[in-house]
Structure 1
């Protein structure tokens, strides 16, 4: 690719992010034949303009008000989700029973639990079930219900009935957005109802959300969260957003970049 003027380069970065993803700062610098410092300034400017959200080493397009499919979600903030999942897994100890929501970040946590010993995983996620299917040392309980094709998750009265007959040491929830005041934002009221039941049955509630989801309100369905819940996010999170969660009594944990 020939070198582009700054404005054209930044517009092309946004187009690339929305189509195939943009990779790392180093990869962008090589593609546009500029210094990495130039790319970092481009990304900072696009973030301030609301076009991108920063992640480890790169950026993703700002989420739209349309619910993304699981395939689309898997390509968003991949390294950030892996780091968040690793941090979440560190809190789980042998003998615990944990509940995993559907979603790509919680799915990354399922990957982290594949070699766990003495852990019981209960889940509404088809992806988590498949990830753990070849881990005989992990006891897996699969909840029934109605499949939401976009999220690969199970919802509805059958799922709720099963959940109400169990209790959990920890629940790990995902969401389209998360607010310090209102809780988890989702596209579907069945999802928010499900998350509320999941939190009610658990001794400790976690929300796993990368930086772009903090304070993001794309829909009008909300799941309130219990007092003392924990947010695990990545180090690209806006310090002001993190401070707002902490001001409302949320335990915020920042996941370190993967080495």
Structure 2
């Protein structure tokens, strides 16, 4: 049987990459750029356009991407956050980048929990970006740069295309307002897992009330994740500090670290420090 030039490229890759490694790199690019064209991938990888088209067709068949005329778009491109998550983007991005860096500095190949929300969604993106350069040798040794366990559908969708991240999504009933999974199935699964660190978004953090959110069902799932975590990193903008919402997630004694922005006042932060919470201001 005669092996054609393009068939050989499918298996080995003209740039010397195996098909599996080539796909990993394509998916990593897709996660960053959200869309790729056949031409740009062929040029960047040094392979034929027909090989790229076959790769894209196969990725689409496996629901790893959506096929378009001349290329692909990320499977997550249709999953934006609801419009209510539109304020204080710059503060949240700084908080997210700092929280992600803190996690990766303190833990090697950690198991990281994330509940739903704008800030935790940005933390997920930052974790993906900050682990992009993980070497292939390191990945072969540990399998993944990190494992993320999340109760939010949009966070799972954000990370699933990143080959260096193992993504675990809890079961349960999805809430349209936040994309969070709630109910007995989510709580039961959360209680079977152990986390190194939980990065937790909230509507309020207060020395007396602890961490709070607006929905008891979401609070129940997040409480289960807190109970299975070695440490808890709360993330939230300064308007959340010193306030409380409807449903308690956990006591302040269960919070290890708070990452917030410089708008938080000393009067709001000092009671948290006195309660033993490490405060990181960015």
What TM-score, normalized by structure 1, do the two folds share? 0.68
1:193: Cα distance to partner? 1.7
Instruction: Report the structure number with the largest CA radius of gyration.
Output: 2
Moved over 4 A (4+): none
Structure 1 residue 241 and structure 2 residue 264: aligned?
Answer: no
1:92 and 1:213 mapped to 2: Cα distance? 21
Task: List runs of 5+ in structure 2 lacking aligned partners.
Answer: 1-80, 135-144
1:84 and 1:210 mapped to 2: Cα distance? 8
Deviations 1:12-66 (A, max 9, x none): xxxxxxxxxxxxxxxxxxxxxxxxxxxxxxxxxxxxxxxxxxxxxxxxxxxxxxx
Higher helix residue share: 2
1:133 and 1:187 mapped to 2: Cα distance? 28
1:207: Cα distance to partner? 0.9
Aligned to 2:91: 80
User: 1:113 aligned to 127, 131, 150, which one?
Assistant: 127
How many residues in Structure 1 have an aligned counterpart in Structure 2?
A: 186
3-state SS of 1:191 partner: helix
**8 Å contact 1:184–1:192 — kept in the other structure?**
no
Task: List runs of 5+ in structure 1 lacking aligned partners.
Answer: 1-69
Aligned to 2:247: 221
Aligned 1:27-42 pairs, distance under 5 A: none
Structure 1 residue 122 and structure 2 residue 136: aligned?
Answer: no
**8 Å contact 1:73–1:104 — kept in the other structure?**
no
CA RMSD in angstroms comes to 1.7
Aligned 1:1-259 pairs, distance under 5 A: 70-93=81-104, 94-115=108-129, 116=131, 117=134, 118-217=145-244, 219-225=245-251, 226-227=253-254, 229-255=256-282
1:228: Cα distance to partner? 5.0
**8 Å contact 1:125–1:152 — kept in the other structure?**
yes
1:169 and 1:92 mapped to 2: Cα distance? 9
Deviations 1:205-240 (A, max 9, x none): 0110101111223x4311223445211101111121
1:188 and 1:73 mapped to 2: Cα distance? 15
* Structure 1 range deviating more: 132-141 or 164-173: 132-141
**8 Å contact 2:197–2:230 — kept in the other structure?**
yes
Q: Residues 113 and 227 (structure 1 numbering): CA distance in 2 closer, same or farther, change over 3 Å?
A: closer
